[in-house]
Amino acid sequence: MDKMPMTDKAHDMSTHDMAGMPMADNTMMQHGGQMMHMGNLKQKFWVSLIASLPVLVLSPMLKIAWLPTLTFPGAGWVTLILATFLYGYGGAPFLTGAVAELKAKRPEMMTLIAIGITVSYFYSLYAFVMNQFVDPTAHVMDFFWELATLIDIMLLGHWIEMNAVMAAGNALQKMAALLPGEATVIAADDSHTAVPLPQVKVGDHVLVKAGEKIPADGVLIAGTTTVNESLVTGEARAINKAVNDHVIGGATNGAGTITVAVTGTGDSGYLAQVMKLVQDAQQEQSKTEGLADKVAGWLVYIAVSVALVTFVAWWALAGEFNWALERMVTVLVIACPHALGLAIPLVVARATSIGAKNGLLTRKRQALEEADRLDVVLLDKTGTLTAGNFTVAAYGSWDSDLADGTLLATMAALEQNSSHPLSVGILNAAKHEQLPLPEATAVTTIAGTGLSGQVNGRQLLIVNERYLTEHHIAYDQDTVTRWAAAGNTVSILVGDEHAFGFVAQGDQLKPESPQLIAGLKARGITPVMLTGDNQKVALAVAKQLGITAQDVHAELKPDAKERLVRDYQNAQHTVAMVGDGVNDAPSLARADIGIAIGAGTDVALDAADVVLVRSEPADILHFLDLAHHTNRKMKQNLWFGAGYNIIAIPLASGILAPWGILLSPAIGAVLMGLSTIVVAINAQTLKPERS
């Protein structure tokens, strides 16, 4: 799957492009940016397989294997033509990938394969010329059969892996699709003009009708509406907006028609900045070297070194150029075993199939390999560790002129246009108490704090404790502390710099959350809780779960998550991030393993390496178990697929030739075939064990 060239017209984002916005295609961002479309890979395999059959039938290898062979005048030319086609067509992805690896000074799997097919082809071309034109009695053996089988097996291996693992990294495409292709710009004479999005400038006034997507970041200068920002920020689905409120490009306008003064386009827009974070993180993560690549990298240096020494030694000792050349070629060909191309893909295919049946979608092979090194897991509190269903635990007035029920009804009136979990809890409590709600007007959201609005002509706010502290507003600290320490989120009604009363709401832990935390600790992994809630609530929940206070990060804004991932990585930790919103996409992409909750947004799912379809915390443990068993099978297969080189390469070099022991290409081919069979059988023995 890695390093394969790709063309994908589906990723044309020109209609969404804004100046400077990162739109790079990253469907398979792997090792030097080399990519391949699955359909193209499938086609290459089948065409190459068909072209290989005549090459194998006409090969002298069949005679050596005591099988009937076909020959006729000009058979050699037919083989040469087909082999040349195979080298240029089927081998092209590996040659291109090898060039990228060498430019990056990181020779790995593609380089090893390229060496094998290139040496096979050009030595066979040399053999053809020798046998046809120079010395027909020399019978120099060609490796056209090796070229054909090597290309077929390696294409098959990459196809199997790509078919098993879903395309990783459509997050940028999904983000770009959040923006409309054009905007309605209002001119100085109040005329309206549809303008392509890249031409929208800071300071332009754009008209956004009901149901349309907001084309760019800006400030609302006319009209009132509700805006759905959930796909962009992960916050409440319906947020009230009035004049002077900020709006985010990509959010969906509600029922009102509004005019927006553009404040951010291109790189300065919120969505573009999130996309840049995702892109940078994915490019950084693509540098991760897989197990097979490490083994292949070692084999490249070993094979080339041994081959050169073999050629020089035999030419010096025996004085026969053809013999020395054949020994060198045999070493290089044997060093790229067929089984190595299937060792990892077959295990990945088996693992992803098992995972899918158990609610785990693995989108990137590296996630399975990195899991054994994992030592930190960052977990969002709401929706991951808790159910996200807030219920009112207590409420009360601190003002003698305001009854408890009136307090709750007033807060419910302000909250009734929001679908935030805290709002829903207050509304449900008021409904349960059958309280009549007063009319609330001009309700707007205070980012990261609460909301404001007018009830009976009085300006009121619903805020958190941090707001009261920052604005030096007196309140009953003992009450707030007591309920917050019990794990409740406390909302406070404020008006005219006076705190009227509170509502405390609790979010229930998911039943599997304690099991998840205990399981992570048992595996030597540190669980870290992230939340936008206040520190007291966060610590109370952490205490119930057994998470230490130093591993709790509270009152976080969205951009702080990606920074936390980087901080842990810079401290030499291998990090997994669990999230579900667009605002989690950068941290999901940045983490060594990004785990998305299945109920989250498409962008988060596409930025992640693993998707928990059932949104159950315990499935994180199941993924770790599956990854552990998968890693064990991968390592076993790498030994079966490449380990025989420990014996094969020295024998192929002729080190034991003085004692009559020499590994011929034919015997090498038999050993390769046996190792391929062993690798295939071993991969199928992977079981969905859970510890």
Does the annotation count 380 as an active-site position? Answer: yes
DSSP 3-state of 505: strand
* 584: amino acid identity, one letter: D
Report how far residue 152's alpha carbon sits from residue 147's, in angstroms, rounded to the nearest whole number.
9
Question: If DSSP codes are grouped into helix, strand and coil, which group holds residue 166?
Answer: coil
335 residue type, one letter? A
- 30: region left, alpha or beta (phi > 0 left; psi from -120 to 50 alpha): beta
On the 0-12 / 13-18 / 19+ scale of CB atoms within 10 A, 62 is middle
- For residue 12, the SS3 value is coil
Q: Which helix (H) or strand (E) holds 342?
A: helix 338-357
Q: How far apart are CA 515 and CA 529, in angstroms?
A: 15
The position carrying tokens 């959930």 is 230
Distance CA 271, CA 278 (A): 11
Residues with Cβ < 8 Å from 282, sequence gap 6 or more?
A: 26, 29, 169, 171, 589, 607
Count Cβ atoms below 10 Å from residue 369 Cβ, excluding itself. Answer: 24
Catalytic residue chosen out of the listed positions 25, 204, 293, 380:
380
Helix %, strand %, coil % for the chain, to 5? 50, 15, 30
Beta bridge partners of 183: 195
Rounded distance between C-alpha atoms, residue 614 and residue 162, angstroms = 24
Tokens of 668: 């090498």
**Alpha-carbon gap, residue 358 to 624, rounded angstroms:** 13
Pairing of β 526-530 and β 552-553: parallel
Q: In what order do the strands lie in the sheet with 225-228?
A: 239-241, 225-228, 252-253
Residues contacting 204, CB < 8 A, separation 6+: 183, 185, 186, 261, 262
SS3 assignment, position 558? coil
H/E segment holding residue 182: strand 182-186
Q: Check if the beta carbon of residue 4 is closer than 8 Å to that of residue 27.
A: no
Instruction: Provide CB contacts within 8 A for 575, sequence distance 6+.
Output: 374, 376, 377, 378, 565, 568, 569, 591, 592, 593
- DSSP line for 607-648: H-SEEETT--THHHHHHHHHHHHHHHHHHHHHHHHHTTHHHH
Helical axes 477-485 vs 535-545, angle rounded to 10°? 30
Helix (H) or strand (E) holding 458: strand 458-463
- The set of catalytic residues is 380
